[in-house]
């Protein structure tokens, strides 16, 4: 159970809660986050103690642990959070476009993709140098060489660098290069990694797991927030369904609900949601209409030669077409978007 204090709660209010918990022999852990005091209770809590806590002055709410995404909840943080990442302000009035290849393969290809991203009005260059692949024989990324190429290319084109981190052991290395750290869907519940990401100062894009509920998604974000990093960006990338005609099914209802449930920014990845470049632009348009704060898409100058996820990567011309759509759609969705002059 989690006892959430009001923002106006003072030391007397906190001491009163602490004294009650100690008198009942409760095992608890006090926390301070988001300007509020929290008491996390471990083990079984009686209904009587729960009711008594809820009536104390200064207490805003008493939640069961399974509903404990207190720091991510809009209930306790009604204003939306804006996360700054290089030139981008994710969650603000402007739509954010993050694009690039699935994996950093070589300098020439990444530079071509980066040029397309900049011309399309993008502000973040995505690309993986450590790749989680279903098959152990598939391309796993270039490692630090890829990070170096990615950093140099992002700087050359004035873009922020987004790169995936797979393991706690890689976190210091990836953090030393990337502006934004990405957690893929397979690692959404890699709790040791999430805790470690809470200790760094970089923004984190957290992708929804293949079969994760929204509550599980927000609790994963809570791990990062609770560990001390408030710069979390959620990314809806579709969930696995029974239909084999699509790689995944994009859950746009989730975008609407997440914007109601949490103050954190929400991106949509239509590339992984469909697995088919023909569907990426229509799904991206739908995501903007649903209220997404931005898009995370894949683009590659030669998708037929891509070492990872070529069928879902847009061509540079496709990305420009999407950017023209975003200029038209953004005002309808109450946003702004501008391509590069």
DSSP of 244-292, one letter per residue? TTSSSB--HHHHHHHHHHBSS-EEE-HHHHHS-HHHHHHHHHHHHHHT-
Domains contained in the chain, number: 2
Which of these three, 67, 94, 112, is where a domain ends? 67
Residues 281 and 322 in one domain: yes
pLDDT digits (tens, 9 = 90+) for 11-53: 999 999 999 999 988 888 888 766 778 888 887 888 898 899 9
**Last residue of some domain: 42, 67, 92?**
67
Note whether 12 and 145 are same-domain residues: no
Tell me: do 219 and 299 sit in the same domain.
yes
- Tell which residue, 281, 314, 297, has the closest CA to residue 127: 297
Looking at the domain assignment, is residue 288 inside a domain? yes
C-alpha dihedral sign at 87, 91, 97, 103:
positive
Which CATH number do you get for residue 247?
Answer: 3.20.20.70
Q: Is residue 338 part of a domain?
A: no
| Whether residues 200 and 264 fall in one domain | yes
Strand order of the β-sheet with 36-42 is 27-33, 36-42, 2-5, 59-63
Domain edge (last residue) among 32, 67, 102: 67
- Contacts of residue 207, Cβ cutoff 8 Å, sequence gap at least 6: 182, 183, 184, 185, 188, 235, 237, 269
Query: Residue 78 domain-assigned?
Result: no
Do 88 and 128 sit in the same domain of this protein?
A: yes
Is residue 253 assigned to a domain? yes
One domain for residues 62 and 87: no
In a domain, 57, yes or no: yes
My answer on whether 174 and 135 are in the same domain is: yes
Q: Which regions in the chain score pLDDT beneath 50?
A: none
Domain identity same for 163 and 291: yes
The answer to whether residue 22 sits within a structural domain is yes
Range of the domain at 239: 83-332
Instruction: Indicate which CATH number applies to the domain containing 23.
Output: 3.30.70.1140
By CB atoms closer than 10 A (0-12, 13-18, 19+), residue 266 is buried
User: Is 37 inside a domain boundary?
Assistant: yes
Contact 194, 227 (CB under 8 A): yes
Q: Is residue 170 located within the same domain as residue 277? A: yes
pLDDT of residue 31: 81
Mark whether 178 and 257 lie in a shared domain.
yes
Query: Do 121 and 194 lie in a common domain?
Result: yes
* Domain match, 104 and 238 both: yes
DSSP letter at 310?
G
Q: Is 56 contained in some domain?
A: yes
Distance from C-alpha of 145 to C-alpha of 257, rounded to nearest angstrom: 40
- Torsion 255-257-260-261 (CA) sign: negative
The pLDDT, as a whole number, for residue 226 is 87
Taking the complete model, does pTM exceed 0.85, yes or no?
yes
């Amino acid at each position: 159970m989690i006892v959430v204090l009001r923002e106006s709660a003072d030391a007397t209010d906190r001491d009163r809660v602490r004294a009650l918990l100690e008198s009942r022999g409760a095992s608890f852990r006090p926390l301070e986050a988001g300007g509020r005091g929290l008491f996390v209770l471990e083990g079984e809590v009686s209904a009587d103690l729960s009711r008594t806590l809820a009536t104390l002055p200064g207490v805003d709410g008493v939640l069961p642990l399974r509903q404990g995404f207190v720091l991510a909840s809009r209930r306790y943080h009604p204003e939306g959070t804006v996360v700054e990442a290089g030139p981008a302000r994710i969650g603000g009035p402007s739509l954010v476009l993050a694009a690039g290849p699935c994996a950093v393969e070589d300098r020439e290809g990444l530079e071509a993709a980066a040029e397309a991203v900049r011309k399309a009005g993008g502000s973040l260059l995505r690309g993986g140098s450590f790749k989680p692949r279903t098959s152990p024989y598939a391309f796993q990324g270039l490692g630090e060489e890829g990070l170096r190429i990615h950093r140099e290319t992002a700087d050359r084109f004035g873009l922020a660098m987004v790169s995936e981190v797979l393991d706690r052991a890689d976190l210091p290395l990836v953090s030393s290069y990337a502006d934004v750290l990405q957690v893929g869907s397979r690692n959404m519940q890699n709790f040791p990694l999430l805790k470690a990401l809470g200790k760094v100062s970089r923004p984190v894009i957290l992708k929804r797991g293949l079969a994760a509920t929204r509550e599980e998604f927000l609790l994963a974000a809570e791990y990062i927030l609770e560990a001390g990093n408030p710069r979390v960006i959620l990314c809806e990338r579709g969930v696995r369904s029974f239909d084999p005609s699509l790689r995944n099914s994009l859950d746009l209802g989730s975008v609407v609900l997440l914007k109601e449930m949490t103050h954190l920014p929400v991106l949509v990845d239509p590339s992984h949601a469909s697995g088919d470049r023909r569907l990426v632009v229509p799904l991206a348009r739908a995501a903007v209409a649903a209220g997404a704060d931005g898009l995370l898409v894949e683009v590659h100058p030669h998708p037929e030669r891509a070492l990872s996820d070529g069928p879902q990567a847009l061509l540079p011309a496709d990305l420009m077409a999407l950017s023209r759509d975003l200029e038209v759609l953004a005002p309808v969705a109450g946003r702004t978007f501008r391509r590069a002059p």
